[in-house]
Each structure stands twice: as C-alpha cells, then as structure tokens.
A and B are shown apart, each in its own frame.
Chain A
Amino acid sequence: MSRFLFLIPRLGRGVLTIWFAVTVTFLLLRLLPGDPALAIASPNMTEETRAILLKEYGLDQPLIVQYGIYLWQVVQGNLGVSFTQSIPVFDVLMQRLPWTLLLTGTALVTTVAVGIPLGVLAASHRGRFLDRLVQIIGVTGQSIFVPSIGVLFLFVFGLMLGWLPIGGAYDQDAYGLAWYGSVATHLALPALSLMLVQLGSYVLTMRSTLIDALREDYTLLAKANGLPYRRVLWRHALRNALLPTTTLIGLQLGFLVGGAVLTETVFAYPGIGRGIYEAVTQLDFPVLQGAFLALAITVVVANMITDTVYGFLDPRVKKA
C-alpha cells in the first residue's frame, strides 16, 4: 500500500487539472461571442417559445448560477443533453471515446516500443552512420504536419496499392473475427501516421539521456567489473535513461490528442476529436463541455499511469 502513497499529491493535481479544464471550457463557451441561446433558439421564434426553451436548458439563469449547477451535475456524472441530437451527452461520448482511446493508445504504445530501441541503437552507435540516420528520421518526423503524412499513406497504401481501407473505423458488414480484423486494418494507417510524428521526441530524448548515462561513473564501474557491454547498456544505463522518457509521455499527451483530431479528420475516423470539430460547427455546447471533460480525464489518468510507472522505475520518488 505504501508503494502507492506518493500518488496522493498527484491525485490532487489531477483533480485540479480536471476542474481547470471544466472551468476554462465553461467560461470560454459563455464569454466568447457565439451565443448558446442562438444555437437552440432561432430568432424567428416568438419571445415566449424562446423563453421556455432557454428555461428548459437553464440558460436563463445568471452565469455564476449556471456554473454552480453545471459543476454539481458534473460531480454527479450528469453531463446534460446534446442540443442537436437530443440524447444524453454521456451516450454521445461513449460512442466516440473508445475509438480515440484505441487510436491514441495504439499510437503511444507503438511509439514507445519503437522509439526506445531506436534511441538505444543511436546511442550505442554514437557519431556513426546509424546514429546519424536515426537522428535524421527523428528530427524529420517531428517536423511533419500530421495530415501531410496521413494523406501520403492514404495515397500510397490505400489508393495505389489498395492494401488498406482509406476511411472509417470498421466494416459495416463484418461480424465476429472478421470485424476485429477490419478494426485492425482501419486502425493501421491513422495509428502509423500518429506514431511517426510522435516518434522523434522519444528517440532523441532516449538517445541523449542514454549517452549521458553511459558516461556516468556507475556504468564505468559496471564495465570495469567485467560485465558484458550489452548487459551494461540494457540493464544498467537504460534503466536510468528511461526516466526522462517516461516524463516525456506526460508532456506529449496534449500534443498526441491534438494530432488525433487531425488524423481523425484525414481518415474520417469516428473519434472524439472529430466529434469536437463537428460539435463546434453546430455550437452543441453540452457535447463540447463533455468532450473536453472526457479528454481532460483521459490525459490525467494517463499521467497518473506514467507517474506510477515512474515510481516503480525510480525508487527515490516514493520516499520524497
């Protein structure tokens, strides 16, 4: 149990982040020019119908009261009803969130799984051709605009070669195992695009921290003790070099979600990022608030997971 005690202050910060996201969204929606009343009530309505409608959605109350009611409902898990679809926001989000989690999760896991070995490869070939090559791939990947690489993949693998589907998340007419297969093939291109633009930061961070770790006294000692180079590299140096990489995951999460919005647009993927974009154009405020809340919770939970991993990698954290 005490292994997890260090998480308590982080939990507090997580709640703070979620509250901040909820409040920022609420204030932005109410204080910026777009009027939610216009979205649900058309100016052609009579004054009475309009008043009834506004009252029904609680939009006739003063701002601070609306805010209080909204916070209270969020705490209770009530996210309201979509303006445009007239179904609970929770249901709207539940249709979308799993796809985004699948996409970003796959992208993140493959990025880390490919990025760490590539970083190790570069660091252990420091200054040689392989190192240069990995660095060039990393820096170039970081500079690519997500839709550019997405369209390129779509063009090459979807249209020219015809290997993979070019849009959507699954086949409508597939059942059972075939359905899971179609989910995987639809996921491949968006996840690959998202992975490539993320990869650079991980590879470059891994490379530079590992190079530093290989210069430390304890790796020298391990080598002097006659341990084979591979063991020193993978067991001694890598373990410490993993720490900044773990921190990087937390810092990149916001960026990952942003990339997911663009990727979902290119591939017509039915995720929450695409949902936000549609809700904005329709001024569907409850869905927007709910979507930001969902994304904020996702980011916070993912951060907590990386913090936990960090705690296991670095025993000092638990004492602090």
Chain B
Amino acid sequence: MRNTAAVAVEVTGSEPVAFENGRASLQTWRAFRREPLGMLALGILLLLVIAAVAAPLIAPYPPSYGDPVLASPNPQHWFGTDSLGRDVFGEVVWGSQQSILVAVAASAIAIVVGTVIAVIGAYFRRLDSFVSVLVDVTLSLPVLPLMILIAALVGPSTTTIILVVAAFSWPEVTRLVRSQALIVVQLPYVDAARLMTTSPLWIIARHIVPAVTPVIVVSVVVTASRAVLSAAGLAFLGLGDPNAWSWGRILYEAQQSGAMSSAWWLTLFPSIAILMLVLAATLLSVAYNDARNPRSRRR
C-alpha cells in the first residue's frame, strides 16, 4: 500500500498523477530477470506465441484425412497421427493459434468490463453494494454448465466462445480490482483530484485506474489462463469451433473416435500444450508479483 501512495505523489507537469514511473518498472524488470522460474515461464510463453503466429511456416494445415491411421510418434509425424491419419503435430501447432486467440481476446474483454465495473463501483459508493452482490452471485453460479448452455444454443464458433468465456470471467477481475480500488479512492490524492476537476470520469481514468494497474496485470494472467482451461473444456465437450483446430478439439475427437485409451499420443501432446501455457502464465504472474514488491525482492 505504501508503494501506491508513494507513487501517487510523484508530480508530472501541473497535476499529480498516479502512475508506475519508469524507474520503478526498470527495477521490477531487474528483479524479474533474476527469477529463473519467471524467465523460463516468459520463454515458454514467447515460444508458444511464436508457434501460434508462425504456424503456417512450422507445419502444413492438417488435411481432412491422411495415410497412416493412428501411427505412433515417428520421424515423419513427431506426435503421431490421429484416427483419420492427420498429423497431430500440425494439429497442436495450429491449435495454439485458437487457444491463444481465445485466451487473449476473452481475457481482454473480461479485464476491461471487470475493471470498469469495479472502479465505478468503488468511486460511486452507492453502486458498490450492488456490484458486490452481483459479483458474489455470479461467482457462485455453476459457470461451466452455463457456458455449455449458451454455446450449445448460439452455435459453436470462435466468437461465441470468446464472448461466453469473457461473460463469466469478469466477476473474478472485478473482485480483485475492487478490493484495491476501494483502498485507492480513500487516499488523499483522490480528494485532491476532486478539488481540481469535477469530472469523475477524468479522476477514474487518470488517477484510479493507473493506481490499480498492478492488480490488473496480475489478473490478466490469471484470467487468461482460466480462459484457456474454459475454452478447452468447451471444446472437449464438442462445443468448440468446428472450423478451427484447438487443443480441446484434439482431445474431443480422440474421445469420440474411441482411440483415447489406446493411442496415448492423441491426449498426451495437447494436454502438455495446455499445461505449459497455463503453468507458464501462472509462474509468470507469481514472478512478476515478487519482482514488483520491494519487500520480497532479493537483493
């Protein structure tokens, strides 16, 4: 907390504005570089993003059928082939596109919506009790069954999945951001800002949102990794986009074809891909948190 307050009195130009200054983020980066697990996580994430972006260069798009059916991993097919003879390596590489796209898009929407609701609730105190009840109630709903319901009714497509995952991810963001925002709005600099302008929008955008940014950064990662798991869950139930490969869809097709129990490579490789993405994101957020907090920095 002291950190936020200290940052807040930093002066730029005529008006005090809360922000993470350049020096602080450089220190965070220096501390972060010394965390081996954090750097490893960052490396894995970069690798997965490169695989997603460069998918056409790495592997040809899996055709609708191929020759050796259910071949175990071999030099031609590193990850083996599935029950229609398609190359599993290609499916996993192309699947990274879909998984990362859904994670990024859904968490971006959830973060924006969740932050706006949290900050508005914290600033206009009369709305806050409504926001907190809404968040509590939404969080206690069985989320995956609701996602199944909507995806099945609307019809599975990438857009549907992104929107559905986002629609049920924002309360978690609101919960995290709200607790921080409630503290920030009581700091003296927000009162000072009220003396200088009458626009709550300006105060929220310029003074409150920057002060809760570190919490947002952490919740981006948490939300994105949960989004990966939710999207994979929907795809595993056959509610993924039928026109795009995703890791969940590989598992779904493996189960549908009945080859799941005999052809271990069909489940192993997409499972490892999901695990790596989620684990790397989690470790990254832990390392970022440690690096940002001066008290836990190793000197």
Residues of A within 8 A of B (CB): 13, 16-17, 20-21, 24-25, 28-29, 32-34, 139-140, 142-148, 151-152, 154-155, 158-159, 166, 250-251, 253-255, 257-259, 261-262, 265-266, 273, 276-277, 280-281, 288, 291-292, 295-296, 299-300, 303
Contact = CB atoms under 8 A, between A and B. Distances in A.
B136 interface: yes
6 contacts: A17-B137, A17-B140, A28-B150, A145-B271, A155-B264, A257-B142
Interface string B232-248: 11001100000000000
A258 B261 contact: no
Interface string B144-158: 111011101111000
Interface of B: 133, 136-137, 139-146, 148-150, 152-155, 225, 229-230, 232-233, 236-237, 251, 255, 260-261, 264, 267, 271, 274-275, 278-279, 282-283, 286
Given A33-B155, A250-B140, A292 B145 contact: yes
Given A143-B225, A145-B232, A257 B267 contact: no
A164 to B, nearest CB: 13
Contacts of A265: 236-237, 255
B236 A262 contact: yes
B233 A262 contact: yes
A155 B261 CA distance: 6
A262 B145 contact: no
A139 B271 CA distance: 16
Nearest to B228: A145
Contacts of A148: 251, 267, 271, 274-275
Contacts of A151: 251, 260-261, 267, 271
A28 B145 CA distance: 12
Contacts of B255: 265-266
A270 to B, nearest CB: 16
Given A13-B133, A257-B144, A25 B149 contact: yes
A144 B275 contact: yes
Nearest to A31: B153
A288 B149 contact: yes
B261 A20 contact: no
A262 B146 CA distance: 13
Contact of A147 (B137, B145, B236, B286): B236
A258 B149 contact: no
